[in-house]
Amino acid sequence: MSFDKKFVPVMITPFNLKAKLDFDAVAKLVDFYLAAGVKGFFANCLSSEMYSISEDERLELTSFIVKHVKGRVPIVATGSFGLTIEDKAEFTKKIYATGIDAVILITGHFANIEDSDETLLYNFNKFLSLTGNIPLGMYECPAPYKRILSAPVFKTLLQTGRFVYHKDTSIIQDQVKAKLDIVHELNIPTFEFYDAHTPNASFSVRNGAKGMSSISGNFYPEILVWMVNNAANPAMKEKVDWLQQQLIEVDPLIHVAYPMSAKYFLSKRGLPIRTISRAHALELTPEQKQTLDKVHDSFLMWCQTLGISTVDIAEIIRPKVPLDSPI
């Protein structure tokens, strides 16, 4: 088993002035994440505004990301769309065919809010029977509603042998620890556990999570990469604990008007990301921008304090000269 930790961003989707997919900006965003040291991508996720783009756009966006990444790091993407289990299985096959490494299933897509865990497991098992050996992941996505998997249900799903990925949104550390204990017990070499809750970063990594996959990486991925790389190092405990407290304090601020907040922040950092969103129709208020400006100041202070190098945005956005062009 590999013990190196990973930060995997939940990708946002840049749009152009007509609110269409902006692939040039997507390419620069991918380059930015990679320069920050991320070790994977979660494409077509809630941060990507997956419920606000069409089926064709989900496939087109994911395919573009796969082609631009060129195998440098693994990519996962959500596939459990459709009214019926059969529909979800069909779309899963389509998005897996784009070349991603695993298809993520939204737990809330497999049972209504009032349904029992038995219903949830029945629908998962039916889905598994329709999708061959496609590698799968689970995500306790907040939409359509947050279906947190209990430890027994989580264990049952892992024991199917089909799951290689889990993005956890339990938030409560005892619940996270219960699932991580199961991961240790089953010891599945191909399985990776990611926490979505930035305030849990040091706790989860220290307890054996593969890494983090949180929205804060759409603001300052360098910080999350540093955190997952250092959280379990006893020699770095004091610095890690200090940074963790800093992240806890700003976390509620970056969630306001998300993903517009992230697009504003990345634009402020110099990336060609417009503050256009299909999921959040309103413009950011002056007060919201001022709050994010202060978070940006904090980000620069964290980097200076810990000696973290920020991504050279000018290099990311500089036009690339073709190799066969005359000098």
Is residue 326 assigned to a domain? no
Is residue 322 assigned to a domain? no
User: What Cα–Cα distance (Å) separates residue 264 from each residue in 14, 206, 292?
Assistant: 11, 32, 8
Is residue 38 assigned to a domain? yes
Is residue 156 assigned to a domain? yes
Is residue 325 assigned to a domain? no
Structure confidence by residue, pLDDT tens digits, 243-263 = 999 999 999 999 999 999 999
| Total count of domains within the chain | 1
Contact by Cβ (8 Å): 218, 266: yes
Q: Specify the pLDDT at position 280.
A: 83
Q: Specify the pLDDT at position 322.
A: 57
Is residue 323 assigned to a domain? no
Reported as a pLDDT band with limits 50, 70 and 90, residue 324 is low
* Cβ neighbours around 227 below 10 Å, total: 28
- Sequence-separated (6 or more) residues with CB below 8 Å from residue 317: 28, 270, 271, 272
User: What Cα–Cα distance (Å) separates residue 199 from each residue in 188, 215, 230, 315?
Assistant: 26, 11, 15, 31
Examine residue 144 and say whether the peptide bond preceding it is cis (omega within 30 degrees of 0): yes
User: What Cα–Cα distance (Å) separates residue 123 from each residue in 79, 86, 118, 120, 157?
Assistant: 15, 10, 9, 5, 12
Is residue 324 assigned to a domain? no
User: Model-level pTM?
Assistant: 0.94
Range of the domain at 153: 6-317
Is residue 327 assigned to a domain? no
* Phi, psi dihedral angles at 274 (to 5 degrees): -80, 150
Reported as a pLDDT band with limits 50, 70 and 90, residue 281 is confident
Percent of the chain with pLDDT over 90: 94
What is the separation of C-alpha 249 from the centre of its chain, rounded to a whole number of angstroms?
Answer: 21
Tell me which residue has tokens 């509603």: 145
CATH of the domain at 244: 3.20.20.70
The stretches of 256-307 forming alpha helices (DSSP H) are: 260-268, 286-306
